[in-house]
Amino acid sequence: MIGKLRVCVVMPAYNAGRTLRRTVAEIDRLLVDDLILVDDRSSDQTVEVARELGLHTIVHEKNRGYGGNQKTCYTEALARGADIVVMLHPDYQYSPLLLPAMAAMISSGHFDAVLGSRILGVGALAGGMPLWKYVANRVLTAIENGLIGYKLAEYHTGYRAFSRRLLQTLPLEENSDDFVFDNQMLAQAIWFGFHIGEISCPARYFADASSLNFSRSVRYGLGVLGTALQYRAARFGFNSSPRFAETGRKLPPKLPKTVPPPKTVPPPK
């Protein structure tokens, strides 16, 4: 808990049995009030390990996909009273040690979303990110910044923190159940006027860490471009997709305004 804000970590899991213990071991349990794991019909020991660790565990009856898993994660987190929700992959690709910093950025009131970016800094390639993925990441991000009109170092990280207000506002059910869900969610957050912060996060690529293969990466990249074009069309009024609701133009949340210090008036002589 930060102040009076309840912090929840959600972990969308698929065959994470070999990395889950290591991930959970680095989570600050004094900060985090609730740990939720949603298993998407794993074929390994993910569920058994999660229950042994005392995590609140939900098992899908059938595989819903990465995006479908996240929808369950956020619905359950809100139902359990979360004020700040951090999505952490249980494959140990992202550092749990950054949880306090990301949650604190949300609790400050300056941001409703915070991304753990592998691109900020110089750690992406050093952490093992394949060169072709790094180049694709940079190219897609540049195109998205241009089409969406925002400026992020990376749209493609899976390490994210959100405020309750954001999760209650976005029409997440309109998004894909596949990997492009991540990208669609960020586009929605920008559409509705939420402010997104970023923090540098080391990249970790190793045998047990999940990663998209080339063919699925191509499909994801096409979905990303489609999302950015759909966003741009919606801004020009050419697209009536429920993913980008019209109310997003009218009621954007705003940051608290900084009150200037009072002017000092010299005493009368």
Q: Could you please report the per-residue DSSP string of the chain? A: -BTTBPEEEEEEESS-TTTHHHHHHTS-TTT--EEEEEE-S-SSSHHHHHHHTT-EEEE-SS--HHHHHHHHHHHHHHHTT-SEEEE--TTS-S-GGGHHHHHHHHHTTS-SEEEEESSSSSHHHHTT--HHHHHHHHHHHHHHIIIII---S-S--S-EEEEHHHHHHS-GGGS-SSTTHHHHHHHHHHHTT--EEEEE------TTS----HHHHHHHHHHHHHHHHHHHHHHTT----TTS-THHHH----PPPPPPPPPP-PPP-
Q: Burial code of 43-75, b = ≥16 C-beta within 10 A, e = fewer?
A: eeebbebbeeeebbbbebeeebbbbbbbbbbbb
Higher pLDDT, 267 or 182: 182
Residue with tokens 């994210």: 160
164-192 pLDDT, tens per residue?
999 999 999 999 999 999 999 999 999 99
Q: What local confidence, expressed as pLDDT, does residue 261 receive?
A: 42
Q: Could you tell me the residue ranges of all domains in the chain?
A: 7-250
At residue 246, the pLDDT reads 67
Q: Which of 65-79, 98-112, 216-230, 235-249 has the lowest mean pLDDT?
A: 235-249
Q: Which residues contact 261 (CB under 8 A, 6 or more apart)?
A: none
pTM: 0.87
| CA nearest neighbour of 19 among 62, 260, 42, 99 | 42
pLDDT of residue 23: 97
What is the mean predicted confidence (pLDDT) over 195-215?
80
CB 32 within 8 A of CB 52: no
Is the model's pLDDT at 251 over the cut of 70?
A: no
Architecture in CATH of 7-250 = Alpha-Beta Complex (3.90)
249 compared with 89, residue with greater pLDDT? 89
Please state the rounded mean pLDDT for residues 197-208. Answer: 84
